[in-house]
Amino acid sequence: MLTKSDIADIISERLERGSCERAPAAAKTPLKRVFISDRELKRMVKEGQKMVKVPANAIISPLSEDWLDYKGVKILREG
């Protein structure tokens, strides 16, 4: 069963190649990526914190980025 991050990896690979061909029945093992939603990010950031660490390949939702900007919290990508 494919996860959301697996699907995102497949789509990004296809877009990078500029190909619109159909996906093969057995896709290659996609890169493991982490999707960080607004709810998860709010749990990660403590009151008064000015920086949050996320994995280098993490996908951060646009709503989360807006919330971080509003709170003045910077993103530090580990990796």
Q: What is the pLDDT of residues 45-55, one digit of tens each?
A: 999 999 999 99
φ and ψ at residue 45, rounded to 5 degrees: -90, 120
Residues 31-44 pLDDT 10s? 677 898 889 999 99
Helix H or strand E encompassing 76: strand 74-78
Give the whole-angstrom CA distance, residue 15 versus residue 7: 12
pTM for the model stands at 0.55
Report d(CA 30, CA 18) in Å as an integer: 17
Q: Identify whether 22 is part of a domain.
A: no
Q: Is residue 45 part of a domain?
A: yes
What is the extent of the structural domain holding 38? 33-79
pLDDT of 23 = 56
2 found inside a domain:
no
